[in-house]
Amino acid sequence: MMPAISRNPRVSFIIPVRNDAARLQICLRSILCNPNASKQVQIIVVDNASTDDSAAVARRLGAEVLTVDAGRVAELRNRGARHASGDVLAFVDADNEIAGGWLYAALECLRMTNVGAVGAMYQAPPDGTWVQRTYGHLRGAPRDRDADWLGSGNLAVSRSAFELVGGFDTSLETCEDVDFCHRLRAAGLRVVSDSRLKSVHHGDPRTLWEVLSSERWRGRDNLRVTFRKPVAWASVPSAVVPVIHVLFMALAVVGVALLGTSPQLGAILIGSAVAGFVAGTAVRVMRAAVREAAVRASLVRAFVVASFLDAGRALALVTRAPHRGGQSRPTVAAS
């Protein structure tokens, strides 16, 4: 059992950023809107070689800035944790905006028996595109329960739990949050989802093309993490389905190649591949529809977005895509 955190612990917010000054400003202001933030909170922005105003925005809003030349997001989070003075480490991404009661809810949960980490599923921007809203519906609404894993862009961890498992695995480019939470649970600690830790993710993909490219990046370490021991069997389907989809894609490519010499066989292979891919995506949408009324209300849109999501995760196994966080963002005016 982990030692209980103190009654008024110091909380260190750790925020990795790269060329995202405008959304970083929103993120920092949302942290500062939490009651007692000015007295109880340390804010550390780990700037990954930004060429925009990210560092200046962070300093203007009272954050400590650590500058690194390059690094995976797991390295940035660990670097911030080493610098942190808090008993609680709060990991929030620069494109997330947290609720005003986030800090209180996080500390209340971390005082519960044997809780190592607490967070909640991201929410889509309320003024986002139809793709962002649908993507959010497929992800699911925040729920109050013990979770297998939670995203590291909206996660609070006791320092003792973080140190017990050795922090994030810096060999991973993605899925470092899944791996981290699995190691917490393997150590006998609880990972708790609490809907009060509301976090709007302004970085959700805005277009279908962004869904495809972001999932190509996000899925690259999926297989590697899923089958690490101890295996979390509930996560296995999410790793196996992209493999099946890759096989269907390969079957379609073979079918296209055969159209010139054996049109009938080529057409059969293409049709079988399309049918298999569609069936797999339909299962995903139906499962989401059981959970979310918003998905049931717009099944066609959900299927379209899910198709691009599944294609991206499949392509992640055989191609490489850069992280969208490396792209330039608009700077913000001084305020």
Give per-residue pLDDT as tens, 219-268: 888 888 888 877 777 778 788 899 999 999 999 999 999 999 999 999 99
* Whether residues 154 and 22 fall in one domain: yes
- In a domain, residue 280? The reply is yes
Cα 254 from Cα 240, distance rounded (Å): 22
CA-closest candidate to residue 14, choices 63, 70, 53, 48: 63
pLDDT exceeds 70 at position 325? no
Q: At what angle do helices 236-258 and 299-315 cross, to 10 degrees?
A: 80
| Entry pTM | 0.90
200 shares its domain with 241: no
Residue 326 has pLDDT above 50, yes or no: no
Q: Tell me, yes or no, whether 127 and 247 share the same domain.
A: no
SS3 content of the chain, % helix, strand, coil (to 5): 50, 15, 35
Q: Annotate 196-212 with b (16+ C-beta within 10 A) or e (fewer).
A: bbbbbbbbbbbebebbb
Residues 259 and 127 in one domain: no
Do 65 and 163 share a domain, yes or no? yes
In a domain, 285, yes or no: yes
Q: Is the pLDDT of residue 126 over 70?
A: yes
In a domain? residue 224: no
Q: Measure the CA–CA gap between 310 and 306, rounded to whole angstroms.
A: 6
- What pLDDT is recorded for position 6? 74
Residue 144 vs residue 70, higher pLDDT: 144
CATH code for the domain in which residue 15 is found = 3.90.550.10
Question: Does some domain include residue 251?
Answer: yes
| Domain coverage including residue 138 | 11-206
Do 96 and 183 fall within a single domain? yes
Of 171, 206, 241, the position where a domain reaches its end is: 206
* 330 occurs within a structural domain: no
244/303 same-domain check: yes
* Residue 326: inside a domain: no
User: Are 147 and 281 within one domain?
Assistant: no
Q: Is residue 265 part of a domain?
A: yes
Mean pLDDT in the chain?
Answer: 91
Are 275 and 311 contained in the same domain? yes
User: Rounded to whole angstroms, what are the CA distances from 33 to 38, 67, 247?
Assistant: 9, 25, 49
Beta-carbon contacts of residue 56 (< 8 Å; ≥ 6 apart):
21, 334
At residue 323, the pLDDT reads 67
Contacts of 87 (CB under 8 A, 6+ apart): 5, 6, 9, 10, 11, 158, 159
241 plus 295 within the same structural domain: yes
Give the chain's domain count. 2
| Rounded distance between C-alpha atoms, residue 167 and residue 51, angstroms | 28
Is pLDDT at 102 greater than 90 in this prediction? yes
Rounded CA separation 152/164 (Å)? 17
The span from the CA of 309 to the CA of 135, in Å, is 9
User: Do the domain assignments include residue 107?
Assistant: yes
